[in-house]
Amino acid sequence: MVMNTQEEQTTVATMDLDGGAPCLDFVNTASGRSTGPLRERLRGYEDVVTIAERVGVLEPSEGRRLRKAAAAAPPEAAAVHRRAVALREAIFRLFAQDEAAGEDLALLAGEAGEALAARRLEGTAEGYRFTWPYTDDLARALWPLAASAAELLTSEEHRRVKECAADNCNWLFLDVSRNRSRRWCDMAVCGNRAKARRFSARQRGA
Ligand SMILES: [Zn+2]
């Protein structure tokens, strides 16, 4: 049996998007938090742009512009990458832990505040919408992710956020099943791994 786990050598470009919300797929760029070793897929600013594109909150043309701006300003890009990792871990704890940590909430509030302040109201053929300007500001890749987390945290849907039941996976997802019975980030990945582990435990016992 092929053992397929979220700890495989996937990258932000190839990882599954099972979270059900942009901020949860962003959280899932790391796994193995419980007992380690941490699988870190956000290895630099480019990866922040890539995950924002993949979850649909950044157009490819905007991504290209940000990659170019980052290449011209490596220290600034590194600083936004560090901000992204800190934001991601705060979002993980806010959704995965029962007790809200004040520091995590303050961090998200700061990032979401900047994100909302940067939004523009514009008219389109279909009506009006909030959007972010086409910009060289490297934080542009973070804004919609922080806004997504603040929106989910303040909605009724936040009660449906679950952590994968597999040991040390730590992926978060929105359980939209009718009876709220979903246990795994992906049945084909962590669900099968758990089944295989029970099977081999029985074999050893036999
Ligand atoms: Zn999992």
**What tens-digit pLDDT sequence spans the chain (206 residues)?**
344 455 567 899 999 999 999 999 999 999 999 998 999 999 999 999 999 999 999 999 999 999 999 999 999 999 999 999 999 999 999 999 877 789 999 999 999 999 999 999 999 999 999 999 999 999 999 999 999 999 999 999 999 999 999 989 999 999 999 999 999 999 888 988 777 777 777 777 76
If you measure from the C-alpha of residue 170 to the centroid of ligand 1, how many angstroms do you get, rounded to a whole number?
A: 6
If you measure from the C-alpha of residue 77 to the centroid of ligand 1, how many angstroms do you get, rounded to a whole number?
A: 30
Q: Which of 122, 70, 163, 27 is nearest to 15 (CA)?
A: 27
CA–CA separation, 82 vs 62, rounded Å? 21
In sequence order, what are the beta bridge partners of 174?
161
If you measure from the C-alpha of residue 157 to the centroid of ligand 1, how many angstroms do you get, rounded to a whole number?
A: 20
**How many domains does the chain divide into?**
1
CATH number of the domain at 53, please: 1.10.3300.10
Q: Please calculate the CA angle 166-94-39 and round it to the nearest 5 degrees.
A: 45
Chain-centre distance for alpha carbon 6? 14
Q: Please calculate the CA angle 23-49-63 and round it to the nearest 5 degrees.
A: 125
Domain span at residue 182?
22-205
The answer to the question of residue 70 being in a domain is yes
